[in-house]
Amino acid sequence: MTNSGSVGFIGVGNMGGAMALRLRELGWQVGVRDLDPAREAEGERAGARAWTTPAALAAVHPVVVVAVVDAAQCGAVLFGEDGLAQAQPVAGACVVLCPTLGPASTEAIAARLAGHGFDCIDAPMSGGPARARDGSMSVMVACAEALFERHRSLIEALSSKVFRVGERPGDGARSKLVNNLLAAINLAGAAEAIALAERVGLDPARTLDLIEHSSGQSWIGSDRMRRAIAGDLAPRAHTTLLAKDSRLALEMAAAAGFEAPLGRAAAERFRAACAAGFGALDDASLLALLRQAGA
């Protein structure tokens, strides 16, 4: 393998920061770039080097993991002023694209990167910051087999749960949107069930205990509702993210001529939560929204 053990991260928030810290612990040389100086400082304390621009980072690190929020941010950090594509690509230069994007956006970014001399691995991830930190998150990888083999050591260092979903750029994005639409449906259903339990006089924590050992259990429902019941809405995954992801999933479904009524109902819950002021909080805030609506 040609991977040199040197990797840069553009975006070291909840997920990108957790991945960067994991690789530092595993002995990788890590560079970081983020708009938030506090995030960069956290990386530097762990032994990473902060760079002033994406282009400066890409000039040194042959592989760059992009872990920003959306297509607009990807465009800015990759192709904007001082963006990654302004750097002269080093041998084997590759971008690992981790945000949840629409398939068309992923395809366009991969094609544009190729024009600048950068390979692209479509590799969205799922599982949250704790799983990113311990290497147990899911990574959905779409790229040519030779490219995957060239960077297998990095991908497998990031996670023990790597799923090869295809070779065409965009299949990672498609897989992630399918997953996140179901996550939105499950979380919306879990919040509704706990809100109903409270309305009929049941203890929500005890109700969640029994759900976790019964047919209604879902990982995201248990994870988020446990925090929501405790009043912990500190953002691990902002409500805005599942609002965005469920919208993108519905757009993908519409383009394929597929009707998704459950997904549409869940997406409306997340849209309403953002409109009610919960967007910057954890997506466990769906329970707070329903409590507010039922007050």
Structure tokens at 186: 């499950």
Write down the catalytic residue from 176, 224, 238, 244: 176
| Rounded Cα distance, 29 and 48, in Å | 7
- Integer angstrom CA distances of residue 134 from 23, 24, 36: 10, 12, 23
The residues with which 162 forms a beta bridge, in sequence order, are 139
Task: Write out the two tokens for 211.
Answer: 């759900």
Judge whether 176 counts as a catalytic residue: yes
In angstroms, rounded to a whole number, what is the distance separating the alpha carbons of residues 10 and 16?
A: 8
Contact 243, 147 (CB under 8 A): no
Sign of the torsion angle spanned by Cα atoms 72, 73, 76, 77: negative
* Cα 271–Cα 227–Cα 184 angle in degrees, nearest 5: 35
How far is Cα 295 from Cα 199, in angstroms, rounded to an integer?
Answer: 10
Distance CA 171, CA 93 (A): 21
Tokens for 30? 């890590």
Amino acid at 148: F
What is the token pair recorded at 167? 């070779």
DSSP letter at 116?
T
Residue entry with tokens 């995957």 = 148
Task: Could you list the beta-strand ranges (E) of the chain.
Answer: 6-10, 29-33, 49-50, 63-66, 94-97, 119-122, 125-126, 138-142, 161-166
Q: Which residues are catalytic?
A: 176
